[in-house]
Amino acid sequence: MFFWKPILFILGGATGIAGFSSLSSLEWDPEYIWRPKSKNRFYLTTCKQGRGIDDNEKSAWNNSVLQIYLTVKDSSSEIKNGTPLQLVGKGHYQKFRGSTPVNSMTHEDPVDLHKDNGSGETWFVLSIGNVSQKTTLGETGGGPDSERWGALIVCDKQIFTFNDSNPSSLSASLLHTSFSLEKCGDVKNNYKGKQGCSIGIKETESSKGLKWSTEFKPIIVIN
């Protein structure tokens, strides 16, 4: 037994060193960096809705979790200035009345957040509370009975803001909001010697200046 102990120690130690070396050689990007050639989705935030404090046993409400991503709108597109991006979701929802489930949990992936609600109006509105500064998504339509995800889906990151400071204007129709790559030649967008782009946001209806927050400036590495 005395003879085998040192051998086991040496083998274990060598394995540990090799494992540590391989881990330390990995390149970990911060959350604002996206490499579309290696990841087809760029994670932004997770939004949730649950039972409200005023909901009673007769109230209809939605239990939902929706992860929000950006992806290249056409996967065959070249990654360059002007390349359109699309806001998509991935998650699940379930409707309740009081404490009783009305239906089974439904999973969806992807969820097109730019589509209309079937009546030519936007399906989702992105809002920022003037006081709370919380970012929320909300379905438009006929209230809790017809909603799937909910009218007040609260997001866990503050990645957007508005130029307009009017409290009644802090919302944007996602049907009329688009994202695309821009400023790909700007050295400010380079990352670790690689060329990068920023992501532009454009509103085509009653623009209120939706933009990235000062704490979150995404860079898209294109080579």
Number of domains in the chain: 1
Cβ contact 127:138 at 8 Å: yes
Distance in angstroms (rounded) separating the CA atoms of residues 194 and 95: 46
Distance in angstroms (rounded) separating the CA atoms of residues 136 and 86: 18
- Report yes or no on 185 lying in a domain: no
- Report yes or no on 166 lying in a domain: yes
- Report yes or no on 217 lying in a domain: no
- Report yes or no on 10 lying in a domain: no
Cis peptide bond N-terminal to 110, omega within 30: yes
- Report yes or no on 197 lying in a domain: no
Using the predicted structure, report yes or no on whether residue 178 has a pLDDT greater than 60. yes
Express each pLDDT in 34-76 by its tens digit. 999 999 999 999 999 999 888 889 888 999 999 999 999 998 8
The mean pLDDT value of the chain amounts to 85
Express each pLDDT in 1-26 by its tens digit. 444 444 343 334 444 433 333 333 23
Dihedrals φ, ψ of 24, to 5°?
-70, -15
- Report yes or no on 121 lying in a domain: yes
- Report yes or no on 98 lying in a domain: yes
Q: pLDDT at position 70, please?
A: 98
Q: What angle do CA 18, 20, 21 make, to 5 degrees?
A: 65
Using the predicted structure, report yes or no on whether residue 119 has a pLDDT greater than 90. no
Range of the domain at 154: 39-178
Q: pLDDT at position 168, please?
A: 55
Cβ contact 136:85 at 8 Å: no
- Report yes or no on 198 lying in a domain: no
Burial 86-117 (b: 16+ CB within 10 A, else e): bbbbbbebbbbbeeeeeeeeeeeeebebbeee
User: What is the C-alpha end-to-end distance of the chain, expressed in Å?
Assistant: 56
Q: pLDDT at position 189, please?
A: 96
